[in-house]
Structure 1
């Protein structure tokens, strides 16, 4: 995952969604948020890909799976090959186990369902920028199952009790603020522990940290 933007910079978001009404409503809400700017929305990935070649790439792309032309899963693969710095969050009606597995394995950093209220989706965009893994509760068990199926453990790592607690909460789909509330600590303290986990694991994202925790046998 790319490093989140400094607080004084704007995060650019693109929407790739074939329902123009849905995309417009979501874009309007994103543009009301401080620090977010939804610059573009496209009805297909083919359209977005043509624009990418002649534009500054966005920080985040909200991507539907069931798109005309190139399917969303193919789009994720293409984006990760050509623009690995972009954070891709799936936003779709398809919440089946196979769709979730395929999207996360292809390189998506989050998976949200369109049944979520718009306000929740906007909140989740802030989470992914800050290093979180936005997941709708309906798909969280699939992602945990996927992470548990990662390759065999490699070595032992020295984590504190608090860091293990945070990893467990992340694996259960909790966001940073929820973890802070549950553990009765500040959100900035959660961030501090996350940075420590990333450093010890040699990773740069929440999904990678949770996956490695399962590989190492820290999470079961």
Structure 2
């Protein structure tokens, strides 16, 4: 028989917290351990009363929710952290994930979805509101694009721009005052760095990565 998922909540919004607590108490397979309204009380409480998942708001009096997660992570407690907040900006998002949060859910999410997110986190997933998940994906896409852009030399970018304008290899050679063999060498390196299969693929990927 599977054990219930033990949940504690840290939220300064007493009314919202009470509603969520009421729902969790009624949910089969979930045990509500405790509810806190500030980081200091939660820090002591979670250490003494273990929970599998701590649902944490960022806006708390005194130390914020991210500070709380960092403090608990330092104590090596076997607890997972799901941020539950109104903040959808990258600054709070990535600070929370760096601190140790494994989930990031925006307030306004349906209670049914919150229950599913809790189960997902307990099973090893990383629940995120769809708009938050997209921010994470876009961040890594931008990082990849920047890495690729940095890896291309200034001359290789120039060659790419001429290819994008429909120039032939001979025309690129004339415009840049370099040999046709040198143009071929630049293009070969461009294909390798962009993992491109040919000219059209290279241009497509360069545009996708905002190089062109």
CA distance in 2, matches of 1:80, 1:112: 20
CA distance in 2, matches of 1:29, 1:112: 17
Q: 8 Å contact 1:101–1:142 — kept in the other structure?
A: no
Residue 189 of structure 1 is matched in structure 2 by none
The answer to whether structure 1 residue 102 and structure 2 residue 67 are counterparts is no
Question: Taking CA–CA contacts closer than 8 Å with sequence separation of 6 or more, which of the two structures ends up with the larger relative contact order?
Answer: 1
Question: What is the number of residues matched between the two proteins?
Answer: 145
- Structure 2, unaligned stretches of length 5 or more? 148-208
Residue 56 of structure 1 is matched in structure 2 by 49
Instruction: Flag the 1:103–1:74 CA change in 2: closer, same or farther, 3 A.
Output: same
CA distance in 2, matches of 1:85, 1:146: 29
Deviation at 1:102, TM superposition (A): 0.9
Q: 8 Å contact 2:12–2:38 — kept in the other structure?
A: yes
Q: Which of the pair is proportionally richer in helix?
A: 2
CA distance in 2, matches of 1:137, 1:9: 29
SS of 1:91's partner is strand
Q: 8 Å contact 1:14–1:40 — kept in the other structure?
A: yes
1:94-153 deviation digits (Å, cap 9, x = unpaired): 011111111111110000000211221111111111111110011112222455659x9x
Runs (4+) off by over 6 Å: none
Residue 29 of structure 1 is matched in structure 2 by 23
SS of 2:87's partner is coil
1:53-75 deviation digits (Å, cap 9, x = unpaired): 4x231100000001101111111
The 5-angstrom pairing of residues 71-82 of structure 1 reads 71-82=64-75
CA distance in 2, matches of 1:110, 1:40: 19
CA distance in 2, matches of 1:13, 1:135: 18
1:17-59 deviation digits (Å, cap 9, x = unpaired): 0011111111111122221111210001111112234x23110
CA distance in 1, matches of 2:69, 2:87: 15
Q: Name which one, 1 or 2, has greater alpha-carbon Rg.
A: 2
CA distance in 1, matches of 2:84, 2:30: 17
SS of 2:20's partner is helix
Instruction: Flag the 1:108–1:23 CA change in 2: closer, same or farther, 3 A.
Output: same
Normalised by the length of structure 1, the TM-score is 0.61
- Structure 1, unaligned stretches of length 5 or more? 1-6, 153-219
Q: 8 Å contact 2:43–2:71 — kept in the other structure?
A: no
Residue 69 of structure 1 is matched in structure 2 by 62
